[in-house]
Amino acid sequence: MTELWWAQIKSVVRLELRKTLFTRRGLWIYVLALLPLLLFSVHAVVVSHDRDRSSQLAARSQKHLTYQDLLAIKPDMTRQEVIDRLGNPPVRFHWRGQRPIKSGTFTNTFNEAYRYSDGTNDLFIDLSDDKVTGVHIRGGFNVSEDSIVFAGVFQFFYLRLAIFFGCLGIFMNLFRGEILDKSLHFYFLAPIRREVLMVGKFLAGVLATCIIFVTSELLQIFVFTQQLSPNVRDIYLYQNHGLEQAAAYLGITALACLGYGAFFLAAGMLFRNPILPAAVILIWESMNPFLPALLKKFSVIYYLKSLCPVEIPTPMGTPALLSLLVSNPDPVSAPVAILGIVIVAMLVLYVSSFQVRRMEINYTSE
Amino acid sequence: MNDRIVFEDVSKFYGEILGVNRVNLSIPPGVTSLVGPNGSGKTTLMNLMTGLVHPTRGRIHILGLQPNEPEKLFKILGYSTQFDSFPKGLTGFQFVSSFLRVAGIDSQTAEQLAWRAIERVNLVDAAQRNVAGYSKGMRQRIRLAQALCRNPRVLVLDEPLNGLDPLARAEMIALFRAVATDGCYVIISSHILHEVDAISDQVVLLSNGYVVAEGKIHDVRGEIREHPAQILIRCDRPRDLAARMMGSENTIEVRIHNDERGLLVKTRDADRFYLALNHIALNGIEIESVAPADDDVNSVYEYLIGNDNDNNEVLQ
């Protein structure tokens, strides 16, 4: 019997995958999945361009500068002190201007702007009449800062929006789409248990969403690490847990597809209009930080947040509500989180199995 | 129960709308036609039989199996629905073979069975074309191939001749008859009455969700006592025969046929009339043929349902 079910599931998966992955109706899901990739690709191009410019600037400097040299420049230093410390500037602008001294009277000034670089970070100095009036350091590419940005994009866009709505589009259509297309009877007329059909469709949905979203995540990680110089990349991947973080992101993406998929598959069987259940699930997931401890557990995001490898810091003065969304005050261990999502998904599928047996083909009422 | 398709007091309501009500049927092997006007409940009966909808009340057994067990039922039953939509992007061959694969049949066997079914419905040339490009008749035939592909014992066909040209109709009718001759159960819904007549071993007449009559057409006609039996007699001297007929107590009405080579007689008791006719025939009138003129689905339908859908005359 198990062998027959497996053969049936494979056939359903084959049919559904083809339908799900190659449909014009699902193009928006690809766009959603590839948006962060586009963002990181653009960022990588900008970083690469900046790095080249900083390297050229550093090469043109009189002295070999370090980051400490750049930090040593303070306001009110004299022009000579700056040149003594950093050498002649590789980039210099100057212009004449006026400065108010009393109301209605001005004095002439001689202004300059210098620019130095240590090869990674750029220093911008403003001088007026040979005195430093402003100092600004533009930091170059910083792995730890950028990995936090990566985590932010993953948690707040990819996980909560892209994967959420992507799963909505794919899983809701597994049954609802076929009812609207009036083609669900194709399956219902075959000698296959309805529960087996449901499992086949669910697995097809999980595979399709994983192919789309895990692949996109993998490409995002690739682009993110490719923008690092080789030695920094090695340090990030092998010493600073970069590889572990990458594996965690891929795993979380797959688990999100599984968890959200189960909910949306059930919703697609229960509701005619997908907007309402989608809104309810979205609100439920967003409300998770504010829910009592027990109710939190009946949510996908609760477990996914616990698995996220990089915690996003909340700066001082962040509103309490926003802090709650960002932080995870009550995380669960990774095994519990993984098991939690799997159990929640299985529970939802178990309940759905009753619905699929009761389903009728009555296209005219749709 | 294991050798019949049985409906026990089955009702189906779509919300407040009646689908069928209090249906009791016991369908034997052979071709059974469901006949009735649009909205009479033919498709609902078929959908109930195949588990696509569930009865609000009552029970259904298909050769001992229940419709809510598709994994068992569709091993012995094939259903060609009226739904004219298909999974996207499939060729005719893929449509049938995928259906077989979903049933758990291995690839090689599925291909063989699919080709055999496609051959039976004469669609081999178009089998590798996308179903989306098929004509209505071709779509009808590929649905038939899907229903036939597992060689089911029960074949349920909802308006199977719709969209087919006359030649294809004749081929399909021959196919249904052949399937029925093999001892299978063929349930057909149709509103083309002369075709029903040609195909059916028995009929189920439906009107407004109720079964109005069921059984062999001749038996059903015999039960309709409100309408006198009509008998067409072909003879050499129709006017003489008509004069003698008028003297018979069983005769209600006699009309000379338009071609002047026969007459149409209405009688309340066909058996007595035939006895009387033997005596009359002995008196020198040469009778060529005697045949019932309204012992067909068309007449039965006309008497019981007529053109008015509100006519719910039920046989006692």
Q: Provide DSSP, B229-279.
A: EEEEEEES-HHHHHHHHHTSTTEEEEEE-TTSSEEEEEES-HHHHHHHHHH
Check residue B235 and give its pLDDT.
Answer: 84
Closest by Cβ to A360, choosing from B54, B72, B146: B54
Check residue B314 and give its pLDDT.
Answer: 32
User: What percent of chain A lies above the pLDDT cut of 70?
Assistant: 95
Residue A149 has pLDDT above 70, yes or no: yes
A290 contacts A324 by C-beta, under 8 angstroms: yes
Q: How confident is the model at residue B250 (pLDDT cuts 50, 70, 90)?
A: confident
Q: List chain B domain ranges.
A: 5-222, 228-293
How would you classify the pairing of strands B154-158 and B77-80?
A: parallel
Contact B14/A at CB under 8 A? yes
Closest-CA distance, A9 to chain B, in angstroms, reads: 8
B85 contacts on A by Cβ (under 8 Å): 181-183
Q: Provide DSSP, B171-187.
A: HHHHHHHHHHHTT-EEE
Measured CA to CA, the distance from residue A352 to residue A189 in angstroms comes to 20
Residue B247 has pLDDT above 80, yes or no: no
Check residue B225 and give its pLDDT.
Answer: 66
Burial state string for B273-298 with b = 16 or more CB within 10 A and e = fewer than 16: beebbeebbeeebebeebeeebbbbe
Residue B311 has pLDDT above 50, yes or no: no
Q: Could you give phi then psi for residue A216, rounded to 5 degrees?
A: -60, -40
Q: How confident is the model at residue B79 (pLDDT cuts 50, 70, 90)?
A: very high
Measured CA to CA, the distance from residue B18 to residue B210 in angstroms comes to 10
Integer angstrom CA distances of residue B80 from A291, B43, B147, B157: 51, 11, 5, 5
- Interface confidence: ipTM more than 0.85: no
Residue A285 has pLDDT above 50, yes or no: yes
Q: What DSSP designation does A313 have?
A: P
Q: What DSSP designation does A317 have?
A: T
Residue B313 has pLDDT above 50, yes or no: no
How would you classify the pairing of strands B154-158 and B185-190?
A: parallel
Angle between helices A194-209 and A242-270 (to 10 degrees): 140
Residue B312 has pLDDT above 90, yes or no: no
User: pLDDT (tens digit, 9 = 90+) per residue, B258-278?
Assistant: 888 888 888 877 777 777 777
Residue A249 has pLDDT above 70, yes or no: yes
Measured CA to CA, the distance from residue A187 to residue B112 in angstroms comes to 20
Regarding predicted confidence, which is higher, A101 or A254?
Answer: A254
Residue A53 has pLDDT above 80, yes or no: yes
Measured CA to CA, the distance from residue B47 to residue B14 in angstroms comes to 13
Residue type, B95: F
Q: How confident is the model at residue A235 (pLDDT cuts 50, 70, 90)?
A: confident
The CATH-assigned architecture of domain B228-293 is 2-Layer Sandwich (3.30)
Check residue A106 and give its pLDDT.
Answer: 84
Can you read off the two tokens belonging to residue A117?
A: 């670089």
Residue B310 has pLDDT above 50, yes or no: no
Stretch B149-166: mean pLDDT, rounded? 90
Check residue A321 and give its pLDDT.
Answer: 64
Check residue B88 and give its pLDDT.
Answer: 87
Contact B299/A at CB under 8 A? no
- Of A289-298, A357-366, B173-182, the range with the highest mean pLDDT is B173-182
Nearest one of A147, A323, A176 to A235, comparing CA atoms: A147
Nearest one of A159, A254, A175 to A208, comparing CA atoms: A254
Q: How confident is the model at residue A228 (pLDDT cuts 50, 70, 90)?
A: confident
Closest by Cβ to A12, choosing from B14, B79, B102: B102
A117, containing H or E segment: strand A105-117
- Phi-psi sector, A97: left (phi>0), alpha (psi -120 to 50), beta: beta
Residue type, B158: D
Residue B123 has pLDDT above 60, yes or no: yes
Q: How confident is the model at residue B223 (pLDDT cuts 50, 70, 90)?
A: low
Measured CA to CA, the distance from residue B312 to residue A149 in angstroms comes to 74
Walk across the sheet containing A91-102 and list its strands. Answer: A91-102, A105-117, A122-128, A131-138
Go through the domains of chain A in sequence order and give each one's CATH number: 2-50+142-365 (no CATH), 61-138 (3.30.1450.10)
Check residue A346 and give its pLDDT.
Answer: 94
The alpha helices in chain A, defined as continuous H runs, are 2-21, 27-60, 67-71, 79-86, 143-152, 164-180, 185-188, 194-209, 215-226, 230-234, 242-270, 275-286, 293-296, 300-307, 320-326, 334-358
Q: Which residue pairs, CB below 8 angstroms and at least 24 apart, start in A244-247?
A: A244/A309, A245/A147, A245/A309, A245/A310, A246/A221
Closest by Cβ to B86, choosing from A183, A188, A192: A183
B168, containing H or E segment: helix B166-181
User: pLDDT (tens digit, 9 = 90+) per residue, A311-346?
Assistant: 877 766 666 666 666 666 677 899 999 998 999 899
Stretch B78-84: mean pLDDT, rounded? 93
Closest-CA distance, A162 to chain B, in angstroms, reads: 26
Q: Could you give phi then psi for residue B286, rounded to 5 degrees?
A: -90, 115
User: pLDDT (tens digit, 9 = 90+) per residue, A90-122?
Assistant: 999 999 988 887 777 888 899 999 999 988 888
Check residue B222 and give its pLDDT.
Answer: 66
A365 contacts on B by Cβ (under 8 Å): 14
Q: pTM here?
A: 0.82
Check residue B97 and give its pLDDT.
Answer: 96
The distance of Cα A224 from the centroid of its chain, to the nearest Å, equals 11
Residue A30 has pLDDT above 70, yes or no: yes
Stretch A206-214: mean pLDDT, rounded? 97
Mean of the per-residue pLDDT values for chain B? 86
Can you read off the two tokens belonging to residue B216?
A: 């062999």
Q: How confident is the model at residue B107 (pLDDT cuts 50, 70, 90)?
A: very high
Q: Provide DSSP, B22-46.
A: EEEEEE-SEEEEEE--TTSSHHHHH
Residue type, B201: D
Closest-CA distance, A358 to chain B, in angstroms, reads: 8
Say yes or no for a CB contact (<8 Å) between B51 and A188: yes
Regarding predicted confidence, which is higher, A206 or A24?
Answer: A206
- What CATH superfamily classification does B5-222 receive? P-loop containing nucleotide triphosphate hydrolases (3.40.50.300)
Residue B283 has pLDDT above 70, yes or no: no
Can you read off the two tokens belonging to residue B151?
A: 């060689």
Residue B282 has pLDDT above 90, yes or no: no
Residue B194 has pLDDT above 80, yes or no: no
Stretch A131-158: mean pLDDT, rounded? 87
Check residue B27 and give its pLDDT.
Answer: 94
Check residue B103 and give its pLDDT.
Answer: 94
Can you read off the two tokens belonging to residue B276?
A: 């009387």
Integer angstrom CA distances of residue B229 from A27, A251, A358, B241: 67, 80, 48, 18
Nearest one of B58, B18, B84 to B309, comparing CA atoms: B18
A164 contacts A285 by C-beta, under 8 angstroms: yes
Q: How confident is the model at residue B163 (pLDDT cuts 50, 70, 90)?
A: confident
Dihedral angle of Cα A38, A39, A43, A44, to the nearest 10 degrees: -40
Check residue A322 and give its pLDDT.
Answer: 64
Measured CA to CA, the distance from residue B100 to residue B96 in angstroms comes to 6
Closest-CA distance, B266 to chain A, in angstroms, reads: 45
Stretch B81-107: mean pLDDT, rounded? 94
3-state secondary structure B190-227: ECCHHHHHHHCCEEEEEECCEEEEEECHHHHHHHCCCC
Least confident of A133-137, A188-192, B210-214, B241-245: B241-245
B78, containing H or E segment: strand B77-80
Angle between helices B107-120 and B136-148 (to 10 degrees): 130
Closest-CA distance, A177 to chain B, in angstroms, reads: 11
Q: What DSSP designation does A78 have?
A: B
Residue of A nearest to B50 (CA): A189
Strand partners, B264: B232, B255
Contact B99/A at CB under 8 A? yes
B104 contacts on A by Cβ (under 8 Å): 4-5, 7-8, 11, 191-192
Q: What DSSP designation does A312 have?
A: P
Q: Could you give phi then psi for residue A11, rounded to 5 degrees?
A: -65, -45
Strand partners, A188: none
Measured CA to CA, the distance from residue A349 to residue A205 in angstroms comes to 13
Closest by Cβ to A362, choosing from B53, B75, B101: B53
Measured CA to CA, the distance from residue A225 to residue A234 in angstroms comes to 9
Regarding predicted confidence, which is higher, B192 or B120?
Answer: B120
Closest-CA distance, A138 to chain B, in angstroms, reads: 55
Walk across the sheet containing B287-292 and list its strands. Answer: B251-256, B262-267, B229-235, B287-292
A interface with B, Cβ–Cβ < 8 A, is 4-5, 7-8, 11-12, 14-15, 18-19, 22-23, 178, 181-183, 185-194, 196, 357-358, 360-363, 365
